[in-house]
Amino acid sequence: MSIVIITGGSRGIGASIATECARRGSGVILTYNSNQRAAETVVGAIEAKGGKAVALQLDVGDSATFPAFADAVRQQLTATWGRETFDALVNNAGYGRFNPIATVNEAEFDGLFRVHLKGPFFLTQALLPLMANGGHIVNVTSATSRVATAGVAPYAAFKGGLEVLTRYMAKEFGDRRIRANAVAPGPIRTELGGGLSADFEALLAGETALGRVGEPDDVGRMVASLLSDDNRWVNAQIIEVSGGYII
């Protein structure tokens, strides 16, 4: 059984990734920041269908906690699966903030940076000793790194930086046969940034070739598929999952 760690796995895209990975036979360690009940609901749903999952608390914006988190992962691997390593890391945790560049303050900028770029960098570093050779890293980025959308400049800039980091991960971890790819969702119906109003959703759907906004499962299934052996030769790629958003 492969074991997958998914940050921000208590809701939205992360919960879908966790559910899809479990459905395909993987053990799941999902993280939550503050909503333990939501994380336990996802774990319960996985276990109800015969899967195995564990929820651990993690603030991806606080890199000082990463060594302790790695220790917690090590303990869960041994206690739950009788293993010393895991197989895949999905850096998914994040949040949105919508402000024009002229109004963004340093605290907002730094918060987005810590969660969307610094966090994945140092969390991956902390967990590398526990990752099995031949493993896989998937960084969840955003189509906003390709399409300029007013109001999300820091978020998009750090997602773009994460895409660059993905290629460097693939390059530097190749000697351990660890793959690294990024999945870039387009507009998705989640709670990110407060969710989508009906008018805004209609606008986004009109800018998407397939005529609708995405659902979390559209991304969850893509990530689970990418982690499978069917895609073992896909490496260092940025894969947009957007239904053809602004093409």
Q: For residue 142, give the nearest of 172, 112, 102, 168 by alpha carbon.
A: 112
| CB-based contact 118:77 (threshold 8 Å) | no
Write b or e for each residue in 173-190: b if 16 or more Cβ atoms lie within 10 A of its Cβ, otherwise e.
Answer: beeeebbbbbbbbbbbbb
Amino acid at 138: V
Strands 53-57 and 27-32: parallel
Residues paired with 183 in a beta bridge: 140, 239
Quote the tokens at residue 134: 């031949």
142 dihedral zone (left: phi>0; alpha: psi -120 to 50; beta) = beta
155 is catalytic: yes
Angle among Cα 26, 31, 32 to the nearest 5 degrees reads 145
Catalytic residue among 32, 95, 155, 245: 155
Q: How far apart are CA 11 and CA 24, in angstroms?
A: 19
Please tell me what DSSP assigns to residue 13. H
Q: What is the set of active-site residues? A: 155
